[in-house]
Structure 1
Amino acid sequence: MSEGCGAVDAEDHQLMGLRIASIFIIGAGSSFGALFPVLARRSKFLKVPRALFDFAKYFGSGVIIATAFIHLLAPALEAFESPCLAEGWSDYPYALALCMLSIFLLFVVEVIAFRWGTAKLSKLGMRYDTHGHDAGGSHAAHGPEDDSNRGIDLSANEHSSDLEKSPSPVSSPQTPHSVADNPLTQIIGIAILEFGIVLHSVLIGLALAVDEEFKILFIVLVFHQTFEGLGIGTRLAFLNLPPSYNYVPILAAILYGLTTPIGIAVGLGVRKTYSPETATAKIVAGTLDSLSAGILIYTGLIELLAHEFLFNKEMMNASNKKLAYALGCMLLGWGIMSLLGRWA
């Protein structure tokens, strides 16, 4: 084991005032990024153009995918290759194995959830549409992809569910319904996405609190958490939930805004006893980063990209200009978030 592994600096960290202030600064940025899309879409007074929501949605998809590979999987690989760990940890790519485990577990859970949802729809006399886009449906993780067919006013609060409003006697068997119209399925989908992001946010908050290169990491994380917040906030804003579930997007946005400040506060509280260089800390961080990376890789590639582009009839039939704009927004989010990985 290398020198310095497990060493804890008994002296107080420098810039303690700024470290404490970072709890509130990063918390404000994170909360704004996550809450603004949710509140703006519900507001009757704040007229936000649809194009801005579209930009945030596609930009956020790129941010989430870059977060998975650059900010989670890469640090996980580094953690398990640390000289502070016993030699046996370098004999097998544990980070990649845990990432794959997370992906396959999510896939199995989703298959089971969709089979359950399909059976429930069948009992209600509804026909299941595989992609759920003909009826303006959506996938669980990111809400409706085509609001144009419904004539939606972005400033109105239009969260209703076919399953809540129309039991089997009223539902037409000729009208396809998506399993994702089920509020529980949508909530589970967004919870999976947020779970991966929340684990990551707590870990980077903890790292920021005890990091020697605080200033650079602090500046980067302000942008990092704000961009990530916009990504998840836009997904939350477009959830198609009945009025009784209207609190879910707001609650999820608030939870995201609190996670990194909580991590920073915990890190400051244990700064004299906690060292990120211990073998235990490396193993725990590597494991959580690997599992979180799998969650965001699956969600980003399958739930976001595939369902935003390949399975979205509106996008597939859109003009080349609109498609190029959407791809450009996504690549911009991916590029900026990947660049931030140079420092954090």
Structure 2
Amino acid sequence: MVNLQVCSFNMVGILFLLSLILPTISGDCTCDANTEEKHNSAALHYKLGAIASILLSSVAGVCLPMLGKKIPALRPENDFFFVIKALAAGVILATGFIHILPDSFADLTSPCLNQNPWGNFPFSGFFAMVSAIATLMVDAYATGYYTRLHFNKQANAGELEGGANENDGHVHVHTHAVHGHAHGAVIPTESMTLPELTRHRIIAQVLELGIVFHSVIIGIDMGASQSVSTIRPLVAALSFHQFFEGIGLGGCISQAKFETKSAAIMATFFSLTTPLGAVIGIGISSTYNENSPTSLIVEGTFNGLASGILIYMALVDLLAADFMNPRLQNNFKLQLWVNAALLLGAGCMSLLAKWA
């Protein structure tokens, strides 16, 4: 399993890096300067309200699928879970296509940037393609690596017990697997094979990484804005977005059968990322210029990378895996519900692009 501590360290590093880079250049370019009247005090009140709303929505969304032990309908083996997961996947897919990727194109083709090289090459699409391919490679390599690692351990354990009888060998392998689980190793469960469990765990962690990329950006953008008319619609839009994105991530965490501590770390980090980004934005609002070349390049690059990750994860790891599931294909009524949920999630998130 990918080391959660390393992932958390990298994510914190992203937050710290952005807090240093984005405010460094005030920028001389005013071609797209915001001419709306600014009300710092009123804007701050809206920002604080937005932080609280987004935090609560994130916690509720990511924790809801993880309550499957207490709410039978939310267990991964139930039909309703397929419907909820499709709804969340639609939200994530629309986030990548409708919100993040167009923002990246807008940033990296801004007239505030030099025509060469930014105007002569579609960097946003390139970054999205590279991140999607990289996600595929990480997904395939990590799954294969941890699967081989587990089976090699089993083979070595069997060789060490070569002189023992068959029953003793079985007991040793079982004990070894339990010992590995205590240290965070990936082992199969009663209802899931080893490759499936390994894949679910990698999916959950890669998906969270993609979410963190764009959550930091939207948090900083909201926190740095001084326009009440800009912030007001973001409160509802981002709360909706974080809630259903949290459901998608929470569903992946639930399917991955993480230990309680690991699941809590992932849920907490997801819930805090956008609010922390907003706090950073508030802190740099006096010097932050969204039209400075540095801000445009950093935001455009991160948005391009995040869009590729989220689009890949939504289509390949969330939707394709469920749509090709024999249980779904053998149930026409469930197929209709899942397709309707996908269209509803994607449609609602696309509609929000009108305001945010």
Query: TM-score normalised by the shorter chain: which range applies?
Result: 0.7 to 0.9
Aligned mate of 2:252, from 205, 229, 235? 235
Tell me what 1:19 maps to: 47
CA contact (8 A) 2:200 2:252 kept: no
How far the C-alpha of 1:326 sits from its partner, in A, is 1.1
Q: Do structure 1's residue 222 and structure 2's residue 222 form an aligned pair? A: no
Residue 104 of structure 2 is aligned with which of 45, 70, 76?
76
- Mapping 1:329-340, distance limit 5 Å: 329-340=341-352
Aligned partner of 1:235: which letter? Answer: C
- Percent identity, please: 29
2:93–2:315 Cα contact (<8 Å) kept:
yes
Shift of 1:5: 5.9
Question: 1: distance between equivalents of 2:45 and 2:352?
Answer: 24
Residue in 2 that maps onto 1:136 = none
Matched, 1:268 2:285: no
1:284-305 CA-to-partner distances (Å, cap 9, x unmatched) read: 0000001111111111111112
- Which residue of the partner structure matches residue 205 of structure 1? 219
Deviations 1:178-206 (A, max 9, x none): 42334xx5433311100111121111111
SS in 1 for 2:30: coil
Q: 1:116 aligns to what?
A: 145
Query: Structure 1 CA distance, aligned partners of 2:193 and 2:81?
Result: 25
Q: In the alignment, is residue 101 of structure 1 matched against residue 130 of structure 2?
A: yes
Structure-2 residue corresponding to 1:55: 83
Q: Say if 1:235 and 1:166 are closer, same or farther in 2 by CA, change over 3 A.
A: same
Match for residue 353 of structure 2?
A: 341
* CA distance 1:113–1:162, change in 2 (3 Å): farther
What is the RMSD of the two structures over their aligned residues, measured on CA atoms? 3.0
Structure 1, unmatched stretches of 5+, are 126-160
Provide closer, same or farther for how the CA distance between residues 51 and 273 of structure 1 changes in structure 2, counting only shifts above 3 A: same
Which residue of structure 2 lines up, in the alignment, with residue 327 of structure 1? Answer: 339
- Name the counterpart of 1:191: 205
Q: 1:67 aligns with which of 95, 104, 107?
A: 95
Question: Residue 256 of structure 1 aligns with which residue?
Answer: 270
**How far is 1:12 from its partner?**
3.1
Could you say if the C-alpha distance between residues 240 and 176 of structure 1 is closer, same or farther in structure 2, counting changes exceeding 3 Å? closer
Tell me which residue corresponds to 1:315.
Answer: 328
Q: Which runs of 5+ in 2 are unaligned?
A: 1-27, 156-173, 181-186
* Mapped contact 2:99–2:353 kept (Cα < 8 A): yes
1:63–1:228 contact (8 Å) kept in structure 2: yes
Residues 166 and 16 (structure 1), Cα distance of their counterparts in 2 relative to 1, 3 Å cut? closer
The AA in structure 2 aligned to 1:102 is S
Name the CA distance, whole Å, in 1 between partners of 2:341 and 2:192.
31
User: Going by fraction, where is helix more abundant, 1 or 2?
Assistant: 2
**Distance in 2 (alpha carbons) for counterparts of 1:23 and 1:221:** 10
CA distance in 2, matches of 1:293, 1:87: 23
Question: 1:323 Cα deviation (Å)?
Answer: 0.9
